Amino acid sequence: MFDAAEIGHRIGRKAYRAREPELRRALLDAQYRVLEEGRFPVVVLVNGVDGAGKGETVNLLNEWMDPRHVRTEAFGEAAEEDGDRPEMWRFWQVLPPKGHVGILFGSWYTDPILKRVMRHEKRSRFLRRLERIRHFERMLVAEGALILKFWFHLSRRAQRDRLRKLSADPDTRWRVGDDDWRHHEHYDEFVKVCEAALRETSTGEAPWHIVDGSDPAYRALTVGQVLLDAMLARLDGPAPSIAPSAPPPAPALDGRDLLGTLDHSHTLRRDRYAARLEHGQAHLNRLTRDRRFHERSMIVVFEGMDAAGKGSTIRRVTQAMDARFYRVVPIAAPTDEERAQPYLWRFWRHLPRRGHSVIFDRSWYGRVLVERVEGLCGEADWIRAYHEINEFEEQLAESGAILVKFWLAITPEEQLRRFHERESVPHKQFKITSEDWRNREKWPRYERAVADMVERTSTDIARWHLVSTENKLAGRVAVIERICEAVEAAL
């Protein structure tokens, strides 16, 4: 795979000086068009062997383009503190919004490759991480991103000569560290692992561009031209097509589904409710103060029809928890900042570190519920979201998060009663809007969307708990008891 990058590509100084000004002008013009149209972000990954000019190229791109609209981030091996959250968390924090350019020096490839080269991870784990990267990049492209992946290569001899030359000059020896020489000692293994990584992740949506790093002029013009051509092609042409995901299963012939078979008859007297609630809250408090919980995080998701009691149930849960270690994140329509990012971005940014909890009042499932029913995204978008959500939740579980998902269910008759109650009680009138009445008219479509959601995303890692809140008291107690069960099982 790297043979063509070892034949010694060269660009003469005169040819470089003749081509550079026009390339810079065209790149800057294309960058401003990307910014003005604001349709997609540009994500540039810079990876490769040590000494191949990665840093110089990053600096050059910032010089050639307007750095005010370029975000540059550098990544190495994952540090110990990065283990507090899923491995992809740190990359989600730096994704450029639509209209902007992000240059990731290192990127999500660095840690898997180095850990495999140094034999810190088995091949099966390495391949699983590459598979996750493919899914991640596919999702970014489907959400609109333009991804350019550059791999800078040098032969073993060229790398050795480059490191020696840099080390011999007092003005450049700071560029060469112990890690660079240590990696050079593992050059053959490094190239073997990198070749496997590039082969597995060079896809139609996000192909690799291998660049000979031995000649600065050739390297600079190659990267600049590839970047320019990709931006112009995207500006003047269609977004790349993504293979469609499998659709959800067809409704059962008898019309029955999980929601339709849920038992709403369970009730709880107020005196029994008070005793069980107090016992459940005390149990939850002890569990979240357990020293073993400090090595985990907890994420609780609440979804449900309007007036199903999400807010009142969340309040009973948080009464049992230390306010220093939890946050409630209410999810409404996305802001302009959030619309400029992939839909999962606003949830990744709220993930808790170890020892902490986050409660989502509505969540990432909006993509397959309200966005599906209201036509706020295309059919292909909400269909592929099932897999993206499952992958997201698998990463949460792998990082040690305790994930508990609730669908709070009521009947249409009970919802109507609660709507009228809200209208008649002054301090509850803020809870009822014309949007609630409009959503109620689409009850069958929402019910079908919920059934598909449960069918496709209730997994052994993160299964759905369907809780009837027809009787609010019984529903609140059931939720707290199930959270306790989940935490106990995890500890």
Give the tens place of pLDDT for each residue, 103-148.
999 899 999 998 998 888 899 999 999 999 999 999 999 999 999 9
Percent of the chain with pLDDT over 90: 73
- Model's pTM, two decimal places? 0.90
The helix/strand/coil state of 212 is strand
Whole-angstrom distance, CA of residue 148 vs CA of residue 96: 13
Position 247 confidence tier, pLDDT thresholds 50, 70, 90: confident
Residue 134 confidence (pLDDT): 95
Query: What does the alpha-carbon distance between residue 285 and residue 325 come to, in Å, rounded to a whole number?
Result: 12
φ/ψ of 143, rounded to 5, equals -85, 0
Q: How confident is the model at residue 46 (pLDDT cuts 50, 70, 90)?
A: very high
Mean pLDDT calculated for residue range 329-344 = 95
Q: What is the pLDDT of residues 58-80, one digit of tens each?
A: 999 999 999 999 999 999 877 77
Homologous superfamily of 259-490: P-loop containing nucleotide triphosphate hydrolases (3.40.50.300)
β-strands 297-304, 401-409 pairing: parallel
Q: Can you give the residue ranges of every domain in the chain?
A: 3-236, 259-490
Give the amino acid at 43: V
Say how far apart CA 248 and CA 51 lie, in whole Å: 49
Q: Is the pLDDT of residue 344 over 90?
A: yes
Distance CA(329)–CA(3), nearest Å, equals 51
Digit-coded pLDDT (tens) for 10-22:
999 999 999 999 9
Task: Say if residue 310's pLDDT is above 80.
Answer: yes
Of 42, 89, 47, 46, which Cα lies nearest the Cα of 69? 42
How confident is the model at residue 436, as a pLDDT? Answer: 83
- In CATH terms, 3-236 corresponds, of 3.40.50.300, 3.20.20.140, 3.30.2140.20, 2.40.30.10, to 3.40.50.300
Please report the pLDDT score of residue 262 as a whole number: 87
- The span from the CA of 53 to the CA of 58, in Å, is 9
3-state secondary structure of 181: helix
**CB neighbour list of residue 380: distance below 8 Å, 6 or more residues apart:** 142, 242, 244, 245
Q: Are 9 and 213 in contact (CB under 8 A)?
A: no
Contacts 24+ apart (CB under 8 A), 194-201: 194/49, 194/113, 194/151, 195/1, 195/2, 197/109, 197/112, 197/113, 197/130, 198/1, 198/151, 199/1, 200/127, 200/130, 200/131, 200/134, 201/109, 201/130, 201/133, 201/134, 201/137, 201/149
* Cβ–Cβ under 8 Å, residues 120 and 129: no
Is it the case that residue 163 has pLDDT exceeding 90?
no
Inter-CA distances, 253 with 249, 447, 486, Å: 11, 16, 34
Kindly list the distances between the CA atom of residue 368 and the CA atoms of 301, 317, 379, in Å, as whole numbers in the listed order: 15, 26, 10
Same fold, 3-236 and 259-490: yes
Cβ distance 350 to 401 under 8 Å? Answer: no
Nearest to 64 by CA among 104, 98, 23: 23
What is the SS3 assignment for 217?
helix
- How large is the average pLDDT for residues 176-181? 78
* pLDDT per position as a tens digit, 378-415: 999 999 999 999 999 999 999 999 999 999 999 999 99
Rounded average pLDDT over 200-206: 93
Lowest mean pLDDT across 277-281, 350-354, 434-438, 439-443: 434-438
Residue 454 above 90 pLDDT?
A: yes
Across the range 354-360, mean pLDDT stands at 96
Residue 176, pLDDT > 90, answer no
Contact between 288 and 346 under an 8 Å Cβ cutoff? The reply is no
Give the pLDDT score at 459.
Answer: 94
